[in-house]
Structure 1
Amino acid sequence: MSAMSLVNTIRSTFVPIHREGWKFVAAFFVVSLVLGFLWEPLMWIGFLLTAWCAYFFRDPQRFTPQDDDLVISPADGRVSAIVHVVPPQELELGSEPMLRISVFMNVFNCHVNRAPMRGRVSWISYSPGKFLNAELDKASEENERNAIVIDTPAHGSIGVVQIAGLVARRILSWTAINDHLEAGERFGLIRFGSRLDVFLPAGAEPRVSVGQTAVAGETVLAEFGSAKGPVISRRG
């Protein structure tokens, strides 16, 4: 096996860990060693939890479709809701109902969040709140959350809301107002289980179904300007 083949094999086997996760991985590892001095089986349990922590903060490469008519999933997880609702006030997107597609992330999903469409960040609003089950509809208004508005070049403004959940205790966003994001570009992360909501204006048709698994940066959640109409699905 050539040196380049070996490097490619390692890269494909070991997924990179996001920089925000290294301090947690290190903490889990040190605690595991300390516990090992008290009772050896605790050390091995700690090592398993350390491996889980590294897995949680994984940041794999994704291949994002580059099309201004497509809305790409901002999160890994399960599509938990597709509804038309009035967007949260903090988004400042008006009082008319918008299409909301929600993606729920459990503690085993990759938690790096990606921009659903290309555009300029025009508004950011952080709201402190509760830590209810992120799958509950009222979590959109009562939970801790971070709302971002992206002005797209072809379809107006869309909203993206990071919502904390039962276990999540920290929402991270490293984008700022006037930043330009490409579709699929990393913009944030939520630690330990949560939800992402995408609010879309008129003209967007869902391309997923409730219960479907979404992949951040790859799965097409919705599409603008299509004459195909909404997706009809069945359980098989």
Structure 2
Amino acid sequence: MAEENSLTKYLSFPVNREGWLFIALFAVVAWVLGQIWGLLGWLGFFATLWSVWFFRDPERVAPARDGVVVSPADGVVKTVETAAPPAELGLGDKPRVRITLLRTLLNVHVNRVPVEGKVVKTVEVAGSFADASRPAAAAENERLGLVVAAAAGNRPVAVVQVAGPVVRHLSNDLVEGQPVKAGQRAGISRLSLDPVKDLIKKFKGEAATATNEEKASFSLGHLVTRVDVYLPEGVAATVAAGQSIIAGETVLAELA
């Protein structure tokens, strides 16, 4: 019985409101393809199931203790290194610990607040939609930054969502001056219709909006999205490269 309850909990999850339009589009396309050829219909059916999985929005429980920095995203830690934060965050150019998180198209893409405190800055920067796993993507790709002044010591923790070739739409539900809790929902990185529009333009003989770099040979990096976390100066990370992390629950650092 316990195993059955665990399975039910794993398969029962809410879907983020931004996903319903895409799920409906996948379902309609699957039905149309099914009228053409049964096999295509089945492929569309499984693609629809994947879209539901992509937009799932499970509940998370953050650690109860004060001064913890939790992961803003699901995925895997790619690197833990020192780097200067992007200029648009207004945190100066002194290097600090940066934790780079990568998530695949099978991970939850709802973002969460990293630390309890107050939102002091939100900023969006236009850029390319090249492979987000590249080191240069932190400065070249389109990105959305969030800075939270931690309640513990009033030190800033920054999160930067980095867009990629497939997941291009970055959203933030928070506003400057808003008090927040660690693990609170902060928006979603989701699919964009732009790649489909570019494909249609190609069929029509029009120029696609993608740059030459974005049109380069396909790589696995096209299927991942990236989130960078910048810790306050003097704070060390408690995670390591290769570690799997869960948004709102995995502790990335301790401010105390």
Residues 145-191 of structure 1: CA deviation (Å, up to 9, x unaligned): 00111111123111111111232121111111111111000101112
The answer for the alignment partner of 2:241 in structure 1 is: 210
- Report the more deviating stretch, 175-184 or 11-20: 11-20
Q: 2:67, 2:116 within 8 Å by CA — same for their partners in 1?
A: no
RMSD: 1.9
The answer for the alignment partner of 1:176 in structure 2 is: 175
Distance 1:150 1:182 in 2: 10
Pairwise CA distance, 1:9:
7.7
Residue 8 to residue 107, structure 1, CA distance change in 2 (3 Å): closer
**TM-score normalized by the length of structure 1:** 0.88
- Report the more deviating stretch, 114-123 or 200-209: 200-209
For 1:19, which of 17, 20, 25 is the aligned residue?
17
For 2:143, which of 145, 153, 167 is the aligned residue?
145
**TM-score normalized by the length of structure 2:** 0.81
The answer for the alignment partner of 1:86 in structure 2 is: 84
Residue 66 to residue 203, structure 1, CA distance change in 2 (3 Å): farther
Residues 193-216 of structure 1: CA deviation (Å, up to 9, x unaligned): 411111111232211110111110
The answer for the alignment partner of 2:133 in structure 1 is: 135
Distance 1:158 1:71 in 2: 8
Equivalent residues in 2 for 1:157-236, closer than 5 Å: 157-192=156-191, 193-225=224-256
Distance 2:171 2:64 in 1: 25
Distance 2:7 2:113 in 1: 29
Higher relative contact order (CA 8 A, sep 6+): 2
Provide the secondary structure at the position in 1 that maps to 2:236.
Answer: strand
Residues 94-153 of structure 1: CA deviation (Å, up to 9, x unaligned): 121111111111111110000110111111110010112212111111000001111111
Pairwise CA distance, 1:8:
9.6
For 1:32, which of 27, 30, 33 is the aligned residue?
30
Paired-residue identity, %:
42
Provide the secondary structure at the position in 2 that maps to 1:140.
Answer: helix
Distance 2:66 2:239 in 1: 18
Pairwise CA distance, 1:68:
2.9
Distance 2:105 2:10 in 1: 22
Pairwise CA distance, 1:12:
4.8
Q: 2:96, 2:234 within 8 Å by CA — same for their partners in 1?
A: no
Residue 46 to residue 131, structure 1, CA distance change in 2 (3 Å): same
Distance 2:58 2:37 in 1: 35
Distance 2:253 2:152 in 1: 14
The structure with the greater share of residues assigned to strand is 1
Distance 1:173 1:64 in 2: 20
